[in-house]
């Protein structure tokens, strides 16, 4: 992911989850947020517009569920929509996890040290939460 550019001494690193670009363009830790995660760019930043569109579509599905209950729709039909909404959220979560692994965890692996252990533990905990749902 991170390669040294010939002759410039720059790492070419993209700031990750919890980092901001320093004066020399290298990742720099951002402080002040519970887990020092900071504000973007995160692994999902490149697809932010697509993610927001997808979340708005899921939000529409949830609003549809509310309407179905208000209109006394048959319970099995509502459950079918609940299942579709749940699957859509799970699919979104898996995409976000994949981007986190490719961007944030991979960047921590290049850095080495304790950060990789922290990122792997975060990802493992996130996977465990997803499996419990």
User: Residue 18: which pLDDT band, with cuts at 50, 70 and 90?
Assistant: very low
pLDDT for position 5: 36
- Highest-pLDDT range among 12-21, 37-46, 47-56, 62-71: 62-71
Cβ atoms within 10 Å of 5's Cβ, excluding its own: 9
Position 1 pLDDT exceeds 80: no
pLDDT for position 24: 44
3-state SS, residue 30: coil
Query: What's the pTM value of the predicted model, to 2 decimals?
Result: 0.64
**Domains of the chain, start order:** 43-132 (1.20.58.1000)
Which own/partner contact pairs does 124-129 have at CB distance under 8 Å and 24+ positions apart? 126/97, 126/100, 127/97
Q: Mutual orientation of helices 75-100 and 48-70 as an angle, nearest 10°? A: 160
Higher pLDDT, 78 or 23: 78
Higher pLDDT, 34 or 124: 124
**Could you give the C-alpha distances from 26 to 37, 58, 105, 130, in angstroms and in order?**
16, 37, 17, 33
DSSP letter for 29, please. E
pLDDT for position 39: 56
- Write out the two tokens for 45: 């930043």
Position 76 pLDDT exceeds 90: yes
- With vertex at residue 49, the alpha carbon angle to CA 47 and CA 51, rounded to the nearest 5 degrees, is 70
């Amino acid at each position: 992911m991170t390669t040294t550019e010939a002759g410039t001494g720059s790492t070419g690193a993209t700031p990750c989850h919890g980092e901001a670009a320093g004066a020399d363009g290298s990742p720099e830790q951002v402080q002040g947020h519970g887990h020092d995660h900071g504000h973007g760019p995160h692994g999902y930043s490149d697809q932010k517009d697509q993610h927001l569109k997808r979340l708005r579509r899921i939000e529409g599905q949830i609003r549809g569920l509310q309407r179905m209950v208000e209109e006394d729709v048959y319970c099995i039909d509502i459950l079918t929509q609940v299942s579709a909404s749940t699957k859509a959220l799970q699919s979104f979560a898996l995409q976000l996890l994949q981007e986190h692994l490719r961007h944030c965890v991979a960047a921590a692996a290049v850095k080495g040290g304790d950060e990789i252990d922290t990122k792997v533990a975060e990802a493992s905990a996130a996977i465990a939460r997803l499996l419990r749902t």
